[in-house]
Chain A
Amino acid sequence: MTAAPLIIEAGRTEREYWKDLWRYRELFYFLAWRDILVRYKQTAIGVAWSVLRPLLTMLVFSVVFGKWAKLPAYGVPYPLLVLSALLPWQLFTNAIQEGSTSLVLNANMITKIYFPRLIAPASTVMVSVVDFLISLGILAFFMAFYHVPPSPRLALLPCFLGLAIAASLGAAFWLSALTVEYRDFRFVVPFIVQFGMYISPVAFSSRIVPQRWRLVYSINPMVGVIEGFRWAILGKEVEAYWPAFLLAVVAASALLLSGVWYFRRTERTFADVI
């Protein structure tokens, strides 16, 4: 292997970094694979857990918000309304919960070997995607149960999934870097998750938000993502609110780019402070 010589210099912005990221892609898979393997070996109920969690949440939300609070579902079975939102939402929250601690938990790797550090939080997002795919199976089951036929709009679901992953990566980069620097930041993360649950339309449709607030509300990229999922999954009953999608694209990109920027800026000192 006679590649171009490697130059190490203070504050050097390596063009190599992105090449390295590609070169280390196998490590990325291996870390994700390790986390999945370990999770299913450690937890007694294993895979059942990733099925039970969305299932129970769906049940509780449908009863509390659909039955008791009588929030409108606009012609969609309430459990499906919740489940289609839970898919991206749990992807997002898993990613930021696991992602924020990914660097600190891998501290011994970071102080002992080189690899593009972005891989650590990114691989935890990958793990969340696997959970997402499992939940997708649950959704298919309930769609069949409620006789909701898949619409051609489903073809656009990968776009919304991509948007959710972008937002998750951005948030995971920010939070993991901040957690290295400020160890008590991990106490902030659960709050973000809880708070986010209320300002995102997980348990209800965003159509109940007053029209004049709708645009402001949609600054939260997860609003566009969730409504996008509903639009793609639930068919004609759900009408699109395009400004929200557009805003989601902008906000998710901003989150991702700024996350990469902040992460790259602090990355060099990780090994010294972790």
Chain B
Amino acid sequence: MSESIIQVSNLSKRYVINHARKARYVTLRETLSNSVISLGRRVHRAFRRSAEVEPPSNREEIWALRDVSFEVNEGERLGIIGRNGAGKSTLLKILSRITDPTRGRVRIAGRVASLLEVGTGFHLELTGRENIFLNGAILGMSKSEIKSKFDEIVAFSEVERFLDTPLKRYSSGMSVRLAFAVAAHLDPEILVVDEVLAVGDVAFQRKCLGKMRDVAQCGRTVLFVSHDMGAINSLCEKAVLLHSGSVVMTGSARAVVAHYLEASEKLYSPLRGSVRDYGEFRVIGIRATQSGRVTEVIDCREPFSITIEYDVMQVVRNSRLFLMLRDRTGQLVIVTSDYDDPTDEALERRVGRFESAVTIPGKLLKAGPLYATIGADVRDERVVFLDADVLHLDIVDSVSDALSGRHQRDSAIAPVLAWKTAPVADQHQDLLRDSQAQLTPADRGAHE
């Protein structure tokens, strides 16, 4: 049955940014003093706020979404991809009714649950048991529903022994497990997942992804926002590519992912000359260097390094800066972090400007395009920032010889590793004797 379960037509969302103030919210004091200055405007705004009011000069409009339309059929798994700030999260917020669209219409035929909200409403003073009920209710489960699934939830979370312990005594890993356990036992017709907003470190997010796959296998409709192109490819049939609020492409996941990755450098690269501010971190730039030269074409036989330049704005203890390389299909090739073999700088993560470089040996990677994602996370806790597909590298093999055949292999990497083959003298004799024994079965009978 392919009745469309979600219908999005001409959806637009506008945010108004007020440049006159720094804070996110207004204070009454400010408003009052403004009103003394321009009483008329204030009255106008107060009474006609919902209507279209032309913005005064210090207000800027940002269209987070612009005329977005698409349809999702029942049981379909749709991936939503795009750069940071492309409007993915806003779209999910509208679909889960957290915020209202400015224009357009959405028709949803089914119960929506979103995994944007893992652990929302958890209270540290309450016990694990109490939090399961509270969180379940917040996610829209009824009390009887929670009761019937309680044992399953507890088993999944692996915190049986601490059920009556207040959450404040839980390790962050434990509370995340508990939170995910509750969310995973929701039984919606439509599941909305935002990987970026999910809790936990990168490893935990990958574990959640596994659970997501199980859910998707049960024929449920899934909307999946992710930077993990491999996950999109393996989980979704269809995908929508968003760029600055508009739909750039809709189609099979494979085609959309390929287009996104190929075009990502030209179209979607934010790196040229723009500093990206993530609060605690500010990414200045990323570059690849080989033989002393900055380049994006890498000779696969020589080592090269990737350098990330960034400002640490705030001390983030135990944070690890990581680099992930993917190939054309989204398959992860390398995941590495500066915490694997931590230096003092990595451990302290002091405030200031830093450059972190990682060297990747030669004769390791296969020829073909590679896409680098960088980010930082705190183990078992959260992702500090994630900058997906920010560097596009072309790995090439300049020579064609006996070593070139490895590029055709199915594995993600094709390292040239050291093999050593030498005859082992004694064993050689044994083998010889065994083969002779087989030739004379009469002898064997005599032994018995």
Are the C-beta atoms of A183 and B103 separated by less than 8 Å?
Answer: no
Are the C-beta atoms of B134 and A34 separated by less than 8 Å?
Answer: yes
Q: How far is the CB of B220 from chain A (nearest CB, A)?
A: 13
A274: chain B residues within 8 A (beta carbon): 25
Segment 32-71 of A: residues with Cβ below 8 Å from B: 33-34, 37-38, 41-42
Are the C-beta atoms of B117 and A113 separated by less than 8 Å?
Answer: yes
Are the C-beta atoms of B130 and A37 separated by less than 8 Å?
Answer: yes
Q: How far is the CB of A188 from chain B (nearest CB, A)?
A: 7
Surface stretch bound by A, among B91-99, B288-296, B426-434: B91-99
Are the C-beta atoms of B143 and A26 separated by less than 8 Å?
Answer: yes
Are the C-beta atoms of B133 and A30 separated by less than 8 Å?
Answer: yes
Q: Could you tell me how many residues of chain B have their Cβ less than 8 Å away from some Cβ of chain A?
A: 48
Whether, in the assembled complex, A74 has its beta carbon less than 8 Å from a beta carbon of chain B, the answer is: no
Segment 149-178 of A: residues with Cβ below 8 Å from B: none
Given contacts A183-B26, A184-B28, contact A112 B98 (CB under 8 A): yes
User: Complex Cα distance A48/B242, Å?
Assistant: 57
Residue of A nearest to B105 (CB): A9
User: Complex Cα distance A112/B105, Å?
Assistant: 21
A34: chain B residues within 8 A (beta carbon): 123, 126, 130, 134
Are the C-beta atoms of B107 and A113 separated by less than 8 Å?
Answer: no
Residue of A nearest to B26 (CB): A182
Given contacts A7-B107, A108-B120, A113-B114, contact A271 B96 (CB under 8 A): no
Residue of B nearest to A104 (CB): B25
User: Complex Cα distance A55/B106, Å?
Assistant: 55
Whether, in the assembled complex, A273 has its beta carbon less than 8 Å from a beta carbon of chain B, the answer is: yes
Select one of A30, A41, A185, A265 contacting B28, CB under 8 A: A185
User: Complex Cα distance A69/B106, Å?
Assistant: 66
Are the C-beta atoms of B105 and A7 separated by less than 8 Å?
Answer: yes
B104: chain A residues within 8 A (beta carbon): 9-10
Given contacts A184-B28, A184-B29, A271-B93, contact A8 B108 (CB under 8 A): yes
Select one of B24, B50, B107, B125 contacting A6, CB under 8 A: B107
Select one of A41, A114, A188, A272 contacting B96, CB under 8 A: A114
B50: chain A residues within 8 A (beta carbon): 11, 265
Q: Could you tell me how many residues of chain A have their Cβ less than 8 Å away from some Cβ of chain B?
A: 42
Segment 89-146 of B: residues with Cβ below 8 Å from A: 93-112, 114, 116-117, 120-121, 123, 125-126, 130, 133-134, 137-140, 142-143
Are the C-beta atoms of A112 and B123 separated by less than 8 Å?
Answer: no
Whether, in the assembled complex, A1 has its beta carbon less than 8 Å from a beta carbon of chain B, the answer is: yes
Are the C-beta atoms of B26 and A38 separated by less than 8 Å?
Answer: no
B143: chain A residues within 8 A (beta carbon): 26
Residue of A nearest to B109 (CB): A5
Q: How far is the CB of B186 from chain A (nearest CB, A)?
A: 11
Given contacts A10-B100, A113-B96, A188-B28, contact A38 B120 (CB under 8 A): no
Given contacts A30-B138, A268-B100, contact A183 B25 (CB under 8 A): yes
User: Complex Cα distance A2/B111, Å?
Assistant: 9
Whether, in the assembled complex, A217 has its beta carbon less than 8 Å from a beta carbon of chain B, the answer is: no
Q: How far is the CB of A183 from chain B (nearest CB, A)?
A: 5
B103: chain A residues within 8 A (beta carbon): 10
Q: How far is the CB of B213 from chain A (nearest CB, A)?
A: 23
Whether, in the assembled complex, B387 has its beta carbon less than 8 Å from a beta carbon of chain A, the answer is: no
Segment 1-30 of A: residues with Cβ below 8 Å from B: 1-2, 5-11, 24, 26-27, 30
B25: chain A residues within 8 A (beta carbon): 180-183, 273-274
User: Complex Cα distance A28/B101, Å?
Assistant: 26
B98: chain A residues within 8 A (beta carbon): 110-114, 271
Q: How far is the CB of A111 from chain B (nearest CB, A)?
A: 7
Whether, in the assembled complex, B15 has its beta carbon less than 8 Å from a beta carbon of chain A, the answer is: yes
Segment 341-367 of B: residues with Cβ below 8 Å from A: none
Whether, in the assembled complex, A115 has its beta carbon less than 8 Å from a beta carbon of chain B, the answer is: yes
Q: How far is the CB of B7 from chain A (nearest CB, A)?
A: 9
A273: chain B residues within 8 A (beta carbon): 24-25
Q: A6-B109, A108-B121, A268-B100 provided; 14 other pairs, C-beta below 8 A?
A: A5-B109, A6-B97, A7-B106, A24-B140, A34-B134, A38-B123, A112-B98, A113-B138, A180-B25, A181-B25, A183-B28, A184-B28, A184-B29, A271-B98
Chain B residues engaging chain A, CB cutoff 8 angstroms: 15, 24-29, 31, 50, 93-112, 114, 116-117, 120-121, 123, 125-126, 130, 133-134, 137-140, 142-143, 166, 189
9 CB contacts below 8 A, A to B, read: A1-B189, A6-B108, A8-B100, A33-B134, A37-B130, A106-B121, A109-B120, A114-B96, A115-B138
Q: Which 5 A-B pairs have the closest CB atoms?
A: A114-B97, A182-B28, A30-B137, A8-B106, A5-B109
